[in-house]
Amino acid sequence: MPEITIDQFEQLMESELPFAQTMGLKVDHISEDLVQMRAVYNKDFLRPGGTVSGPVMMGLADAAMFLAVMAKIGPVSLAVTTQLSINFLRKPEPGDVFAVARLLKLGKRLAVGDVAIYSASHSSDEMVAHVTATYSIPPR
């Protein structure tokens, strides 16, 4: 069983992550091993070339990793990102983008995971971006 529910995480985003609302972030699915979130498209996402801007995908990935950590250890809002690396692979056309995140390691002090980002405008075997991220976890 995941240690946080969709309602709990969406309330936490509402009260504590203002950018999540600007970006229209929603939770699609939570399990202990895999979570999926979505950025609901709006025209502020665009950048030159008619594609979704990088910061939207980075914000979505960061939130999805945060959720993946909480799915394992419960709502610990003081976990913080220490490192995030993103490769932009394909230009998503205007539309929702979604992120599938999983942890590669959950240690005492650090959690490391990766996030696959897809677009409603591409077939499901074509990632539009790939992220790895590290979270620092407060002592439990």
**Residues contributing to the site for its own copies (CB under 8 A):** 16-19, 22-23, 43-49, 53-56, 58-59, 62, 77-78, 80-91, 104-105, 109-110, 112, 114, 127, 130, 132, 134, 136
Query: Judged by CB, which is closer to its own copies: 5, or 53?
Result: 53
Query: Judged by CB, which is closer to its own copies: 26, or 130?
Result: 130
In whole angstroms, the minimum distance from the beta carbon of 120 to its own copies comes to: 18
Query: Judged by CB, which is closer to its own copies: 22, or 31?
Result: 22
The letter for the amino acid at 25 is L
C-alpha angle with apex 39: 109 to 27, nearest 5 degrees?
60
In whole angstroms, the minimum distance from the beta carbon of 132 to its own copies comes to: 6
Query: Judged by CB, which is closer to its own copies: 30, or 111?
Result: 111
In whole angstroms, the minimum distance from the beta carbon of 52 to its own copies comes to: 10
- Residues with Cβ within 8 Å of 132's Cβ and at least 6 positions away in sequence, in order, are 84, 85, 112, 113, 114, 115
DSSP conformation class of 92: P
